């Protein structure tokens, strides 16, 4: 399927969606384009719209075929900690030739950084980190590299769980096709500097994000979630950040007197340091990371926050929407618009898909 998409410069029509209405002003902009809020059969959806720089026929075809490959993969991935995929929506010519959108549920809670700093600062960090590494574990099980792990790419479900977004899209990086929105914060491999592994800072032509560079990045995400600050927050200049990373200087560890340290135990910091090893082969696998994190004894503050969250859920049972969209009782019209691709593949079929794509 992915080979056919690449050769034809198009995407499978069973992924195509129709009848989406969306606001003309984007809600957010990222390295690959703009995020719009829309409605599909009465349900709020997110439209991630690419931005094509040089609009030649060849470039548009190449971009759509590459985007389609990512959409085919995304459409088959089903995990509670991954953002679900609804389909592809092609914009009319008034929005520019060749512009397409990847459609997913609209997450009202926003990304994890916004959620923890604005709407729910007392949320327990420990379960959110487990959500993140479980989602990454699912991707790595199928040798899928996320490539751009950071707080902005981790969304919060209505239930308060974390789910990964923008996985695999860092491979869409042709310089004649994409226009980056924040060039100074993007490395040549597509990731964002403050979370990026050192081996990707000055890459050669064959350098790509890997499973091991994801492990480095997820430690920086853990830092962001627990500490509440960006990695290397004391360095506003990105050139300085690059120098610190390439020299092997780690993000600053909070002192025990800081409130953020109350959830950042020594066991967690040891895991983060292991993930930040400058040698990729010395970093743990995601399976090792999950195993180690699952046996960590939560701090007293974490236990208190988890207890309060559970009490809140019990007190408001029935008011909290379940899941990230797949378990919501959608109307028949909505299900029909999604089409047959929402059913997904069995694990064995997904593995076969990857073997055929090699």
pLDDT of residue 250: 96
Q: What is the mean pLDDT of each run of 10 residues along the chain (358 residues)?
A: 42 77 84 84 89 56 67 87 92 66 93 92 93 97 93 93 79 38 43 89 76 97 95 94 94 83 89 97 98 90 81 56 42 58 43 42
What pLDDT was estimated at residue 258?
76
- Helix or strand run (H / E) with residue 303: helix 300-315
Domain boundaries, the chain: 2-337
Q: Look up the pTM and report it.
A: 0.78
| 298: exposed, middle or buried (Cβ count in 10 Å: 0-12, 13-18, 19+) | middle
The span from the CA of 208 to the CA of 203, in Å, is 8
Q: Which 3 state secondary structure label does DSSP give 88?
A: strand
Provide the pLDDT for residue 353.
Answer: 40
Q: Which residues contact 51 (CB under 8 A, 6 or more apart)?
A: 32, 33, 34, 99, 178, 179, 181
CATH number for the domain formed by residue range(s) 2-337: 1.10.510.10
């Amino acid at each position: 399927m992915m080979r056919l998409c690449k050769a034809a410069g198009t995407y499978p029509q069973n992924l195509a969606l129709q009848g989406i209405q969306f606001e003309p002003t984007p809600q957010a902009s990222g390295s690959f384009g703009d995020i719009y809020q829309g409605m599909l059969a009465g349900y709020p959806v997110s439209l991630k719209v690419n931005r094509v720089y040089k609009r030649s026929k060849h470039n548009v075809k190449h971009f759509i075929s590459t985007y389609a490959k990512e959409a085919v993969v995304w459409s088959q991935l089903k995990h509670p900690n991954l953002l679900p995929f609804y389909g592809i929506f092609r914009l009319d010519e008034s929005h520019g030739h060749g512009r397409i959108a990847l459609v997913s549920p609209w997450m009202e809670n926003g990304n994890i950084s916004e959620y923890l700093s604005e709407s729910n600062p007392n949320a327990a960090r420990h379960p959110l980190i487990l959500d993140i590494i479980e989602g990454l574990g699912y991707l790595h099980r199928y040798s899928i590299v996320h490539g751009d792990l950071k707080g902005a790419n981790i969304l919060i479900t209505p239930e308060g769980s974390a789910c990964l977004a923008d996985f695999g899209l860092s491979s869409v990086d042709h310089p004649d096709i994409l226009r980056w929105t924040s060039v100074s914060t993007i490395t040549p491999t597509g990731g964002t500097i403050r979370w990026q592994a050192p081996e990707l800072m000055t890459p050669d032509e064959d350098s790509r994000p890997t499973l091991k560079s994801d492990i480095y990045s997820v430690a920086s995400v853990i830092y962001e979630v627990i500490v509440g600050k960006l990695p290397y927050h004391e360095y506003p200049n990105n050139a300085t950040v690059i120098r610190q990373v390439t020299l092997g200087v780690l993000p600053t560890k909070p002192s025990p007197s800081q409130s953020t340290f109350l959830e950042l135990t020594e066991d967690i910091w040891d895991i983060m340091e292991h993930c930040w090893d400058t040698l990729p082969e010395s970093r743990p696998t995601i399976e090792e990371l999950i195993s180690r994190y699952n046996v960590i004894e939560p701090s007293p503050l974490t236990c208190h926050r988890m207890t309060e969250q559970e009490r809140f859920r019990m007190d408001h049972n029935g008011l909290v929407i379940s899941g990230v969209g797949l378990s919501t009782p959608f109307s028949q019209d909505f299900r029909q618009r999604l089409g047959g691709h929402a059913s997904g593949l069995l694990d064995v079929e997904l593995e076969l898909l990857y073997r055929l794509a090699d």
